[in-house]
């Protein structure tokens, strides 16, 4: 017999605990994937320009991701939990959505492709909603999809303009000035912390939002689990994608790293305040492209950009399709 309601009753309390642990484990798995893939969005530019070692940068990410998750992660968590699917999902549906979403992010991380965990979880939740026959909030879904286009374009324009301003300042007052180099170095580190904070605020809700749909765990505890799991992913497996973002798109120096990070952080933070799960990957890639365009279009690796774009399209599509099919197969076999 399958669990149809939000609270499991199969086999009594002895069976509830394993399901509960499986749910939290699935949420932590998605969080780990976010940390492993999206850490590059926080520190890839700083590591790529040689400002910080990956180990030190990952520790900074871990700290500020948890702070961002705890202080401002609830809005996005509500959107993922209740804003897309207009129904209470059962335990099986939530587990399938989380595991399928995490799988494609794991695959992208292994291939060193900065993909969107936001797109993966939105795709997974939408697929599950269709599989259970629930009403889908298509208006909210359209707003989220539009944000995936608006955010990187907005950030690209911001980073392009800010890079022009930074170049003017450096040309005016001396690019080789030790004081300016040190100042931009510190600003780049601070901006990396800001990106990490914004990632926690926007992406912790992606990891645990479907679990929030069940109303069985306090929201703050869920956000802590999401934030900590992202931090663990950052420290243990975040280095692969960091190389792609920091070195694979366009060469970066310290001022460029600062501009890319502060621009992407602003974009993510802005959408987080409206409860819209945006792609941290698209934000930082848009920012890095904006910096590259300010230098020269030839400095941008078109092959890397195309690989990333393909990953962005496939991730939500495949996550949604797999979650739909897997849920239907499980219910058919066991029902």
> φ and ψ at 136, to 5 degrees?
-100, 135
User: What is the pLDDT, as a whole number, of residue 205?
Assistant: 84
User: What is the pLDDT, as a whole number, of residue 249?
Assistant: 59
- Give me the half-sphere count of Cα atoms (radius 13 Å) on the Cβ side of residue 264: 39
User: What is the pLDDT, as a whole number, of residue 299?
Assistant: 57
Q: State pLDDT tens for residues 272-289.
A: 888 887 777 778 778 888
H runs (alpha helix) in 213-301: 219-237, 239-243, 254-273, 280-295
DSSP state of 83: I
Coil vs helix vs strand at 26 = helix
Mean pLDDT of 143-154: 85
User: What is the pLDDT, as a whole number, of residue 329?
Assistant: 95
Q: The pTM is what?
A: 0.75
Check: CB of residue 145 under 8 Å from CB of residue 277: no
d(CA 63, CA 78): 23
What is the pLDDT of the chain when averaged over all its residues?
80
| Residues 6+ away with beta carbon under 8 Å from 219 | 74, 77, 212
Is 240 or 198 the better-scoring residue by pLDDT? Answer: 198
User: What is the pLDDT, as a whole number, of residue 6?
Assistant: 46
Q: 130-134, 138-142, 203-207: which range is least confident on average?
A: 203-207
d(CA 178, CA 38): 32
User: What is the pLDDT, as a whole number, of residue 176?
Assistant: 60
- What percent of the chain lies above the pLDDT cut of 90? 13
User: What is the pLDDT, as a whole number, of residue 126?
Assistant: 93
Check: CB of residue 151 under 8 Å from CB of residue 271: yes
Coil vs helix vs strand at 29 = helix
User: What is the pLDDT, as a whole number, of residue 15?
Assistant: 43
* pLDDT band of 174, cuts 50, 70, 90: low
User: What is the pLDDT, as a whole number, of residue 296?
Assistant: 65
Using DSSP, how many helices (H) and how many strands (E) does the chain show? 12, 0
DSSP codes, 93-121: HHHHHHHHHHHHHHHHHHTT----HHHHH
Tokens of 206: 């992606």
User: What is the pLDDT, as a whole number, of residue 265?
Assistant: 86
User: What is the pLDDT, as a whole number, of residue 128?
Assistant: 92
Mean pLDDT of 172-191: 75
Asked if the model's pLDDT at residue 5 lies above 50, the reply is no
User: What is the pLDDT, as a whole number, of residue 149?
Assistant: 82
Q: State pLDDT tens for residues 50-75.
A: 777 778 888 888 899 999 999 988 88
User: What is the pLDDT, as a whole number, of residue 244?
Assistant: 56
- What percent of the chain lies above the pLDDT cut of 70? 82
Asked if the model's pLDDT at residue 2 lies above 50, the reply is no
* pLDDT band of 321, cuts 50, 70, 90: very high
* pLDDT band of 323, cuts 50, 70, 90: very high
Q: State pLDDT tens for residues 222-270.
A: 999 999 998 888 888 776 665 555 555 556 677 887 888 889 888 888 8
> What is the largest distance, in Å, between two alpha-carbon atoms of the chain?
74
């Amino acid at each position: 017999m399958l669990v149809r309601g939000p609270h499991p009753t199969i086999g009594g309390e002895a069976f509830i605990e394993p399901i509960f642990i499986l749910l939290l484990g699935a949420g932590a798995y998605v969080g780990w994937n976010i940390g492993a893939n999206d850490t590059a969005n926080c520190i890839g530019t700083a590591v790529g320009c040689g400002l910080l070692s990956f180990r030190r940068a990952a520790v900074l990410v871990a700290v500020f991701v948890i702070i961002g998750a705890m202080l401002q992660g609830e809005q996005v968590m509500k959107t993922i939990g209740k804003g897309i699917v207009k129904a209470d999902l059962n335990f099986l549906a939530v587990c399938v959505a989380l595991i399928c979403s995490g799988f494609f992010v794991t695959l992208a991380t292994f291939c060193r492709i900065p993909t969107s965990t936001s797109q993966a979880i939105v795709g997974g939740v939408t697929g599950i909603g269709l599989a259970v026959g629930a009403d889908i909030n298509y208006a909210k879904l359209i707003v989220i999809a539009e944000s995936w286009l608006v955010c990187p374009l907005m950030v690209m324009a911001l980073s392009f303009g800010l890079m022009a301003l930074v170049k003017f300042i450096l040309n005016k007052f001396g690019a080789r000035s030790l004081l300016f180099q040190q100042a931009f170095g510190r600003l780049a580190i601070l901006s990396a912390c800001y990106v990490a904070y914004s990632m926690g605020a926007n992406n912790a809700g992606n990891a645990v939002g479907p679990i929030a749909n069940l109303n069985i765990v306090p929201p703050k505890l869920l956000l802590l689990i999401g934030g900590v799991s992202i931090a663990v992913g950052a420290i243990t497996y975040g280095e692969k994608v960091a190389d792609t973002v920091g070195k694979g798109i366009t060469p970066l120096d310290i001022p460029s790293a600062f501009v890319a990070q502060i621009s992407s952080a602003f974009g993510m933070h802005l959408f987080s305040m409206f409860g819209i799960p945006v792609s941290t990957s698209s934000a930082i890639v848009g920012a890095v492209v904006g910096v590259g365009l300010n230098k020269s279009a030839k400095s941008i690796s078109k092959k890397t950009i195309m690989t990333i774009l393909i990953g962005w399209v496939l991730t939500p599509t495949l996550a949604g399709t797999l979650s739909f099919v897997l849920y239907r197969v499980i219910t058919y076999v066991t029902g």
